[in-house]
Amino acid sequence: MSTAERSPSHLQWSLVVPVKVLARAKTRMSGAAGPHRQDLALAVAADTVAAALRCPAVRDVIVVTDDPRPAAELAALGATVVADEPDAGLNPALVHGAGRGREAAPDAGVGALSADLPALRPAELARVLEAAAAAPEAFVPDAAGIGTTLYTARPGVPFAPAFGGGSRAAHRARGARELLLDGTDSVRRDVDTPEDLLAALALGTGPRTAAVSALLPGLRDLAREA
């Protein structure tokens, strides 16, 4: 079946996941996470990648990172790891990763997935990707309704992510279809703050995030105050 003939419901996806150097990751979690901040950042990314790899619509996950620690752990999960060769910011890194995906599978769609989705459910991601296959470009806004957790482009469509401040508005302005599906909270629940992490834990995170979260006294104190 050619790219043009491929049914949207059978489209496979290469997802690009950007992972920061751990020393610069999850800085807004410093108070609650303390010495476990880098471990938490890695756990969140690993749970995200592991869930994405279990999604039947996902052909492969391409991690873009310059940090050897997450590179090794995420490769062991089955991800393809590439260095951030452009080293020019988030969106160029995503384009670089998507290019690698299209080289390997020109008939697959490409997407950029946040590394901050520790409660991600493979079935919910599959539903979103099925909907995304019906549009040239699509995106999922984050739980706050300001940012973006997933941006996709069908085969043959230019991959032009607009992540950064106010990315929801930026993706809408570029004509990407916004996907707000019932029952897909795990695809929107990114984690930047302690409050976000509590919300993700309430949904049910992957095992790595749950294990590190149990070590955070600051998080327990916040939960008692809530």
Contacts of 155 (CB under 8 A, 6+ apart): 3, 6, 11, 102, 106, 107, 108, 109
The verdict on whether residue 9 carries a ligand-binding annotation is: no
**Strand ranges of the sheet holding 137-141, from the earlier edge strand across to the other edge:** 80-82, 58-64, 13-18, 109-113, 148-153, 137-141, 177-178
CA 111, CA 161: separation in Å to the nearest integer?
A: 9
Let me know the angle formed at the C-alpha of 185 by 181 and 187, rounded to the nearest 5 degrees: 90
Query: Residue 164 annotated as binding?
Result: yes
> The tokens of 163 are what?
């992540």
14 labelled as ligand-binding? no
Using DSSP bridges, classify how beta strands 13-18 and 137-141 pair: parallel, antiparallel or unpaired: unpaired
- The binding site consists of 148, 164, 167
- The binding site for phosphoenolpyruvate consists of 148, 164, 167
